[in-house]
């Protein structure tokens, strides 16, 4: 079977390595840092029901609810499955609740309207000022453990995973991509690795990776700030019932409440700035929904760069679609053997991998169907049961 090289050890690379090994490809993955050291580990930890996107980004909403149902089945230990609420507080337009409810139903998302009293009976930490609520099937993700489920399963099935290995050059000399040159930080040595096809799954860093092959891809890093405060204020995810904006969500997780988020656009995904004013604004706006989170001590605040697909037509960063796309660079740039996976989000990594693996099957003339939606993932702890470094030496036909 063809040897597929994946660049990027985040959620997308993890899910793709899993999908491709199930379809019997040989898989080698390189990540310049530790696995999951980029955006994936830093995401908010929301398993989207899709309701957040239902009104303005129908495609993303439908992707989210489909994946939400699948992940609950294949990785239940990585999820706190307590559902979520959208709550309206002054001065939110109450009519938006009806718009949202209709959009959820049109997207296939089970949404139930609750009175203010019903919502307060579920979550007494909500402000008594709420005007109404919608129950939706949101959940909390353990960002690192969910992705490690994919890595554990991929490695068990033969994927070779190489953290701390930076791809420094993509070989296009033959008029097509034939392999990569990798610097291994552990040995400080470079080596050449041949592959039949190279996949750029570097997320917000995809622009840099594509540039190694002389290709420009339309990735737009979009950082946002998250604030984890002490105390589990609610058990359900709490969303603000208004169009997507800043400081409109509280995700409980363990003994923390994680508040988010903001969004700006940048060119440098390594931008580690953490604007103080964002932290203050997010705490303040989230406390309009749950007053306790405004007073709670901050455990940590951080930012993470979303891997957005550039969209010059979007009226604001929040309007950029959160969907994903696989690009065959033979079609876009006349470079054979190179594919980029752009966009997407933690909730949809499995679907991102499916679509990309489908493309790889078409390009290599295989018809192996996707199995990831019905294959339970191995527990993340399995990853640590095997010796570190390369996967099992078992070779695949």
- Residues interacting with other proteins, by CB under 8 A? 32-34, 36-37, 40-42, 45, 76-77, 80-83, 112, 118, 121-125, 135, 140, 142-145, 163-164, 166, 183, 185-188, 226, 228, 232-236, 252-256, 258, 270, 272, 274, 276, 299-300, 302, 304, 378-379, 381-382, 384-385, 387-388
Rounded Cα–Cα distance for residues 343 and 221 (Å): 10
Nearer to other proteins, 162 or 329 (CB): 162
Q: Ramachandran region of residue 381, left (φ > 0), alpha (ψ -120 to 50) or beta?
A: alpha
Structure tokens, 395: 């070779």
Nearer to other proteins, 46 or 304 (CB): 304
Around Cβ 317, how many Cβ atoms within 10 Å?
Answer: 16
Residues pairing with 219 in the sheet: 309
Give me the least distance between CB of 277 and other proteins, in Å please.
Answer: 12
Give me the least distance between CB of 307 and other proteins, in Å please.
Answer: 16
Give me the least distance between CB of 151 and other proteins, in Å please.
Answer: 12
Nearer to other proteins, 42 or 160 (CB): 42
Hey, is 39 helix, strand or coil? Answer: helix
Q: Which backbone phi and psi does 121 adopt, to 5 degrees?
A: -65, -30
What distance lies between CA 259 and its chain's CA centroid?
A: 17
Nearer to other proteins, 4 or 256 (CB): 256
Nearer to other proteins, 45 or 97 (CB): 45
Q: Ramachandran region of residue 314, left (φ > 0), alpha (ψ -120 to 50) or beta?
A: beta
Give me the least distance between CB of 370 and other proteins, in Å please.
Answer: 25
Rounded Cα–Cα distance for residues 300 and 44 (Å): 13
Give me the least distance between CB of 13 and other proteins, in Å please.
Answer: 14
Q: Residue 261: is the preceding peptide bond cis (ω within 30°)?
A: yes
Q: How far apart are the first and last CA of the chain?
A: 6
Give me the least distance between CB of 379 and other proteins, in Å please.
Answer: 5
Give me the least distance between CB of 226 and other proteins, in Å please.
Answer: 8
Give me the least distance between CB of 25 and other proteins, in Å please.
Answer: 26
**What is the DSSP secondary-structure string of 157-193?**
TT-EEETTEEEEEEE-TTSB--EEEEEETTTTEEEEE
Hey, is 111 helix, strand or coil? Answer: coil
Give me the least distance between CB of 148 and other proteins, in Å please.
Answer: 9
Give me the least distance between CB of 83 and other proteins, in Å please.
Answer: 5
Nearer to other proteins, 219 or 378 (CB): 378
β-strand pairing of 26-30 with 3-7: parallel
Nearer to other proteins, 136 or 361 (CB): 136
Structure tokens, 229: 């405060």
Rounded Cα–Cα distance for residues 195 and 5 (Å): 6
Nearer to other proteins, 76 or 175 (CB): 76
| Cβ atoms of 110 and 84 closer than 8 Å | no
Give the residue among 392, 354, 360, 397 at the shortest CA–CA distance from 374.
354
Give me the least distance between CB of 257 and other proteins, in Å please.
Answer: 11
Rounded Cα–Cα distance for residues 140 and 319 (Å): 24
Nearer to other proteins, 26 or 261 (CB): 261
Half-sphere exposure of 328 (CA within 13 A, CB side): 13
Rounded Cα–Cα distance for residues 132 and 119 (Å): 7
Nearer to other proteins, 113 or 131 (CB): 113
β-strand pairing of 26-30 with 160-162: parallel
Nearer to other proteins, 173 or 188 (CB): 188
């Amino acid at each position: 079977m063809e040897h597929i090289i994946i660049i990027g050890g985040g959620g997308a690379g993890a899910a793709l390595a899993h999908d491709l090994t199930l379809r019997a490809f040989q898989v080698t993955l390189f990540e310049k840092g530790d696995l999951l050291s980029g955006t994936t580990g830093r995401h908010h930890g929301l398993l989207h029901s899709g309701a957040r996107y239902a009104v303005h980004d129908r495609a993303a909403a439908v992707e989210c609810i489909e994946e939400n149902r699948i992940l609950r089945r294949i990785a239940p230990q990585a999820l706190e499955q307590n559902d979520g609420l959208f709550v309206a507080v002054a001065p939110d337009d109450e009519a938006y609740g009806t718009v949202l409810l209709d959009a959820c139903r049109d997207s296939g998302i089970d949404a139930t309207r609750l009175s203010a009293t019903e919502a307060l009976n579920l979550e007494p930490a909500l402000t008594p000022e709420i005007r109404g609520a919608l129950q939706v099937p949101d959940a909390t993700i353990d960002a690192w453990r969910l992705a490690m489920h994919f890595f554990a399963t991929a490695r068990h099935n033969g994927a070779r995973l190489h953290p701390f290995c930076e791809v420094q050059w993509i070989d296009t000399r033959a008029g097509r991509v034939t392999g990569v040159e990798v610097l291994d930080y552990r040995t400080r040595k470079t080596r050449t690795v041949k592959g039949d096809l190279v996949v750029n799954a570097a997320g917000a860093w995809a622009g840099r990776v594509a540039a190694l092959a002389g290709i420009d891809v339309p990735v737009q890093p979009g950082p946002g700030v998250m604030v984890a405060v002490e105390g589990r204020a609610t058990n359900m995810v709490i969303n603000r019932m208004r169009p997507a904006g800043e400081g409109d969500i509280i995700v409980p997780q363990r003994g923390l409440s994680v508040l988010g988020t903001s969004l700006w656009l940048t060119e440098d995904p390594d931008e580690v700035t953490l604007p103080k004013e964002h932290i203050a604004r997010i705490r303040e706006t989230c406390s309009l929904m749950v007053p306790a989170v405004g007073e709670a001590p901050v455990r940590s605040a951080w930012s993470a760069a979303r891997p957005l697909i550039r969209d010059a037509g979007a009226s604001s960063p929040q309007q950029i679609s959160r969907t994903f796309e696989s690009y065959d660079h033979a079609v876009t740039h006349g470079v054979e053997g190179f594919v980029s996976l752009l966009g997407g989000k933690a909730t949809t990594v499995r679907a991102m991998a499916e679509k990309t693996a489908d493309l790889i099957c078409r390009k290599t003339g295989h018809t192996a169907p996707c199995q990831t939606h019905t294959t339970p993932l191995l527990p993340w702890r399995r990853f640590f049961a095997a010796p570190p470094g390369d996967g099992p030496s078992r070779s695949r036909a």
